């Protein structure tokens, strides 16, 4: 139970209705989408004006209270699991699109704007905001920046960092820091938008984001290539890129995932296929026609049993819905679903698929794999029950093995879900001791009391 005097201080900033300390409330914000133990905060605060974010941050710093900002809590790395006795700050009410500029192609938004709603507002003005995490229906733009979220279109259009032109955020003392610009070019000072991207709430609290918008492609063509052999599908991914074609989207699903998704929504997928590639090319209509033809040819030459081209918008939507259903469908199967996002150079996808097959056999686990194959960003998803102790020990060993393999192939711990608490222990393995020390010095100078989202990224390694 939080100290009454402290609660009054928070109430003075956001009003009594926006300060919650009952167990039912604190419990609701004690966990996120990651499979980690929950930790209840002492108090949950819901600012309704962005200035209040700064006042709350200053208050937490004054009292040495750990502060965890929470968008939708969909991160898969424990980034929003609070510290015991700490404060959770909800950004849901900070959901205004402040400016949507169709002349200079940018938007200024508050951090709690929901990604899909923003993309729809932008589309209604005839423009395009490409980053589309699978969670976009609920995820927030602040959370997207703090995790550097990617999505199905990452291959051609890049990820959130490629669209962050400017940011304003509160430092740990509640002072407003501004960096970046509404202009296409801006080299005024340090690249603080870059530093804040993927910072997971550990360096500052975002107040406003300036996001780049682009013209939408004039045409698009989606295809589903069906394979009887996983290795053939994996090799096709590299072959398409090597042919200098950059599809907007190039996604992979293995047989287990195909069957699970089909069972989930009766999507009419070829359940006997070993693997599917879902491919979309977009751009000028003539370029789309030419690239679609080339992609079809490459798929066939690499052993695709069939390549189904989407007939119309409905058919196209159905294909992409099937892909977006992959995680919810798999998560439905067992009480615990561990989704990883180990990422390898694209040419190593065939080797990574072999390694995942070996790991699932070695540790006797069910692993469904799908993901952004064009980015080398696979999502091996382990289906288990955390209450089964023996199996859980094998799951933990399998996760270690997955990261060992990805790093040995020149890959990375996270393509898009961040490090959070879940992967902090592997950080040195990918980087170096000096990298951890450098990050640690930076964190200590910006947040001397270590109140900003402790325990995440490198914080686990602080004294």
Ligand X SMILES: Cc1cc2nc3c(=O)[nH]c(=O)nc-3n(C[C@H](O)[C@H](O)[C@H](O)COP(=O)(O)OP(=O)(O)OC[C@H]3O[C@@H](n4cnc5c(N)ncnc54)[C@H](O)[C@@H]3O)c2cc1C
Q: Which residues bind ligand X (CB under 6 A)?
A: 32-33, 68-76, 79-80, 91, 111, 133-135, 139-140, 142-144, 146-147, 149-151, 200-201, 205-206, 327, 416-417, 453
Task: Identify which of residues 128 and 351 has a Cβ nearer to ligand X in the complex.
Answer: 128
Rounded CA separation 47/50 (Å): 7
Q: Which is nearer to ligand X, 31 or 256 (CB)?
A: 31
Q: How far is the CB of 205 from ligand X (least distance, A)?
A: 5
Nearest distance from residue 76's CB to ligand X, in Å? 5
CA 406, 408, 414, 420 torsion-angle sign? positive
Q: Please state the closest distance from residue 49 (CB atom) to ligand X, in A.
A: 14
Beta bridge partners of 277: 225, 252
Report the residue number, 130 or 270, with the smaller CB distance to ligand X.
130
Nearest-CB residue for ligand X: 143
Beta strands 67-70 and 87-90, pairing class: parallel
Q: Which is nearer to ligand X, 131 or 270 (CB)?
A: 131
Among residues 56, 58, 61, 62, which one has the least CA distance to residue 44? 56
Of 65, 61, 59, 57, give the one whose Cα is nearest residue 82: 65
Torsion-angle region of residue 14: left (phi > 0), alpha (psi -120 to 50) or beta? Answer: alpha
Query: How near is the Cβ of 232 to ligand X at its closest, in Å?
Result: 25
Q: Which is nearer to ligand X, 128 or 274 (CB)?
A: 128
Nearer residue to ligand X within complex by CB, 132 or 291: 132
| Closest separation in Å from C-beta 248 to ligand X | 14
Judged by CB, which is closer to ligand X: 32, or 291? 32
State the Cα–Cα distance between residues 231 and 302, nearest whole angstrom: 10
Cα–Cα distances in angstroms (integers) from residue 21 to residues 205, 271, 303, in the given order:
22, 49, 59
Q: How far is the CB of 112 from ligand X (least distance, A)?
A: 7
> Which of 323, 277, 281, 317 lies closest to 300 in space, CA to CA?
277
DSSP 221-290: EEEEEEES-HHHHHHHHHHHHHTT---SEEEEEEHHHHHHHHHHH-----TT-SEEEEEEEEESHHHHHH
- In the complex, the smallest distance separating the C-beta of residue 158 from ligand X, rounded to whole angstroms, is 12
Round to whole Å and give the CA distance between 273 and 258: 8
């Amino acid at each position: 139970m939080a100290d009454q005097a402290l609660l009054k201080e928070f109430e003075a900033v956001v009003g009594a209705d926006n300060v919650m300390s009952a167990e039912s409330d604190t419990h609701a914000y004690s966990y996120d989408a990651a499979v980690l133990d929950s930790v209840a905060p002492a108090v949950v605060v819901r600012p309704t004006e962005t200035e209040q974010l700064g006042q709350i941050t200053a208050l937490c710093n004054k009292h040495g209270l750990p502060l965890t900002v929470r968008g939708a809590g969909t991160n898969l790395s424990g980034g929003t699991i609070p510290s015991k006795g700490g404060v959770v700050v909800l950004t849901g009410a900070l959901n205004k699109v402040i400016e949507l500029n169709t002349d200079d192609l940018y938007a200024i938004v508050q951090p709690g704007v929901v990604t899909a709603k923003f993309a729809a507002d932008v589309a209604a003005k005839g423009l395009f905001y490409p980053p589309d995490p699978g969670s976009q229906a609920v995820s927030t733009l602040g959370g997207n920046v703090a995790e550097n979220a990617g999505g199905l279109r990452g291959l051609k259009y890049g990820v959130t960092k490629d669209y962050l032109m400017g940011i304003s955020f509160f430092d740990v003392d509640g002072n407003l820091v501004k960096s970046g610009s509404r202009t296409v070019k801006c080299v005024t000072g340090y690249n603080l938008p870059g530093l804040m991207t993927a910072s997971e709430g550990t360096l500052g609290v975002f107040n406003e984001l300036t996001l780049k918008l682009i013209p939408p492609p004039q045409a698009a063509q989606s295809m589903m290539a069906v394979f009887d052999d996983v290795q053939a599908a994996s090799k096709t991914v590299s072959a398409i890129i090597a042919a200098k074609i950059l599809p907007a989207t190039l996604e992979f699903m293995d047989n287990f995932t195909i069957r699970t998704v089909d069972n989930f929504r009766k999507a009419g997928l070829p359940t006997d296929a070993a693997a599917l590639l879902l491919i979309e090319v977009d751009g000028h209509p003539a370029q789309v026609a030419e690239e679609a033809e080339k992609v079809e040819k490459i798929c066939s030459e690499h052993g695709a049993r069939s390549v189904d081209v989407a007939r119309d918008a409905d058919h196209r939507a159905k294909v992409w819905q099937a892909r977006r259903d992959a995680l919810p469908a798999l998560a439905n199967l067992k009480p615990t679903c561990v989704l990883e996002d180990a990422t390898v150079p694209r040419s190593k996808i065939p080797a990574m698929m072999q390694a995942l097959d070996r790991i699932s056999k070695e540790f006797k686990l069910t692993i469904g794999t799908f993901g952004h194959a064009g980015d080398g960003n696979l999502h091996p998803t382990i289906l288990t029950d955390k209450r089964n102790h023996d199996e859980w020990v094998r799951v933990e060993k399998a996760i270690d093995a997955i990261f060992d393999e990805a790093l040995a192939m020149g890959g990375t711990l996270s393509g898009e879900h961040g490090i959070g608490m879940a992967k902090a222990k592997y950080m040195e393995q990918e980087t170096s001791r000096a990298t951890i020390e450098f990050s640690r010095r930076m964190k200590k100078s910006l947040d001397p009391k270590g109140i900003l989202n402790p325990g995440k990224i490198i914080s686990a390694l602080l004294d």
